[in-house]
Amino acid sequence: MGTRTSSKERLAALEAVPMFRACSRKQLELVARLADNVSVEAGEVLAREGRIERELFVILDGQAQVTRAGTAVAQLGAGDYFGELAVLDAGPRDATVTALTDLDVLIIGQREYATMVADVPGLRDALLRGMAKRLRAADLGATGSPTGSADDRSPGHDRSPGDADGSDA
């Protein structure tokens, strides 16, 4: 893993991520400063199902595959993010995410996330809205109706409105 994009490219990529769209330029600069920008080689595992990990990933460029119990459940690309549950609680990852192509990602640890939500108004709400969309999509997928029980729920991945695949690895 190594650093890949310039500060200007990183800010442009962050502006395209739904979770950060409402942020001001100054707020995006804070996010870019707190996050680690890393290049990941194709085939590398970013998150492994069942492990306790504490990072949120934002894909700036490239493609990744999400699997659960060895079965592919989603493909992620630029603007997608995963791992937000990991920065909120200490539970195990619910999916594995593997780079299909070389990736350029931002990695946000638990401490950095806490700083971001304290300093960037609206970021926590944006993350919660994304999680609510995934939960709703998971309920629909598990039961065929929007009224699935809590036992039917499993976290998914947030994409832009209208997309219903996903994972929170």
Our CA dihedral for 10, 12, 14, 19, rounded to 10 degrees, sits at: 180
Backbone angles phi, psi at 130, to 5 degrees: -65, -40
Quick one: pLDDT at residue 77?
A: 94
Quick one: pLDDT at residue 151?
A: 33
Q: Enumerate domains of the chain plus CATH numbers.
A: 7-110 (2.60.120.10)
Q: Which of 61, 62, 67 is nearest to 93 (CA)?
A: 67
Quick one: pLDDT at residue 168?
A: 56
pTM above 0.85, yes or no: no
Instruction: Return mean pLDDT, the chain.
Output: 80
**pLDDT per position as a tens digit, 72-98:** 999 999 989 899 888 888 889 999 999
Residues linked to residue 38 through DSSP beta bridges, in sequence order: 105
- Asked if the model's pLDDT at residue 160 lies above 50, the reply is no
- Asked if the model's pLDDT at residue 27 lies above 50, the reply is yes
Rounded to whole angstroms, how far apart are CA atoms 144 and 141? Answer: 6
